Amino acid sequence: MHVTTYFVIGAIIILIIALFRSEHKFEFLKAAILFLAQIFFSTVNFLLFFVIAYFMMQDKDHVNLGNLFLLLAAFVVLSGMFIYWGMRVAAHVFKFSTTTLTLVEYYIQWSLIYVTVYQAIFSNIKHISTITHFIRVGNFLDPNLLVVVVLPSFISAWIAVILYKKFIKAI
């Protein structure tokens, strides 16, 4: 790696530390950085867990679906605990305000809603062309139509509420 690369990495780290040390400024940016860091480390945790589980289960003839569900649940809890401890250690350097943590929760929830919409659209791609047909016929109770139209509206309304709460300093 070149000196420029080390300089850029160092500058980004210093910028992030300075950003998190400032109070009540750039809350949305701090929450986005924290959210992306948590997602990154959680993904690394899951990859490590799955590699370990793969090598431990090689001698098994079969694995039941219920066992996989419980294994995934255990991975979720274990990864959450690791990230919690990482946040506790990082709290010695960074300041995590309640507002930043609340915004991280919102980012997680918004992302989950968006992924649901994405899944509904692309798992039913052939039905998407018929949504206009559903509207013309008056079949407004089709679940795919509701997911595609209503859930993005939830996100929009939620963003408006959060921005207003930030404006009145309620978070």
Domain boundaries, the chain: 1-95, 97-171
For the chain, give the number of residues: 171
Rounded Cα gap, residues 152 and 160, in angstroms? 13
The one-letter amino acid code at 73 reads A
Residue 125 CA, chain-centre distance (Å), reads 24
Residues 6+ apart with CB under 8 A from 162: 103, 106, 171
The string of pLDDT tens digits covering residues 102-145 is 888 989 888 888 888 777 777 766 655 555 655 555 555 566 66
Q: Write down the pLDDT at residue 85.
A: 92
The string of pLDDT tens digits covering residues 29-73 is 888 888 999 999 999 998 898 888 877 777 666 655 567 778 878
pTM of the entire predicted model: 0.67
Phi-psi region of 169 (alpha: psi -120 to 50; beta: other; left: phi over 0): left
User: 124 with 48: CB under 8 angstroms?
Assistant: no
User: 87 with 104: CB under 8 angstroms?
Assistant: no
User: Helix H segments across 57-142?
Assistant: 65-90, 98-123, 125-128, 131-137
Average pLDDT over residues 88-103: 86
